[in-house]
């Protein structure tokens, strides 16, 4: 498999990843965590795990996701707050509730909710 290296600021190191990853979700999609009660909008995708070792090791071993899969950066919300989440593909499902997300950072990156997803603001690209 053809692989490339990139620097991950979150991990503080170079990461090796496949040049092409099969992602289930795209930027602007609304997703839901399959175990925890929150939903969010995808604003970035890492082809493999690219966060810190401390973050990875803090996840209990019995539910720790595999590293070799896409990880998604989300503008997330639950009933109490809005925050940024970093979630493995294996732990995300398409949102079945529908409706917009209430996160203060959305307007910096996305246009208004179009009924199914958030389109990127004009002039922004990934």
For the stretch 12-69, pLDDT in tens is 667 676 666 789 999 999 999 999 999 999 999 999 999 999 999 999 999 999 999 9
In a domain, 40, yes or no: yes
Whether 3 contacts 18, CB under 8 Å: yes
Q: What total number of domains does the chain contain?
A: 1
Instruction: Copy the structure tokens of residue 29.
Output: 């999609």
In a domain, 121, yes or no: no
In a domain, 114, yes or no: no
In a domain, 118, yes or no: no
Whole-number percent of the chain with pLDDT over 70: 84
In a domain, 38, yes or no: yes
In a domain, 12, yes or no: yes
In a domain, 45, yes or no: yes
Beta strand 30-33 with 92-94 is: antiparallel
- Which residue range is the domain that position 102 belongs to? 3-109
Among residues 90, 87, 48, the alpha carbon closest in space to that of 69 is found at 48
In a domain, 94, yes or no: yes
CATH number of the domain within which 40 lies: 2.30.30.390
Q: What is the pTM of this model?
A: 0.85
């Amino acid at each position: 498999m053809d692989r490339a290296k990139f620097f991950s600021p979150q991990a503080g190191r170079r990461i090796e990843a496949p040049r092409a990853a099969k992602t289930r979700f795209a930027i602007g999609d609304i997703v839901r965590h399959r175990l925890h009660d929150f939903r969010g909008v995808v604003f970035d995708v890492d082809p493999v795990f690219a966060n810190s070792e401390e973050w990875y090791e803090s996840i209990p071993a019995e539910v720790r996701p595999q590293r070799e899969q896409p990880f998604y950066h989300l503008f997330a919300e639950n009933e109490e707050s809005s925050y940024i989440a970093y979630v493995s593909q294996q732990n995300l499902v398409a949102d079945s509730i529908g409706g917009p997300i209430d996160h203060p950072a959305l307007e910096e990156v996305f246009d208004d909710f179009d009924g199914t997803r958030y389109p990127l603001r004009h002039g922004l690209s990934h």
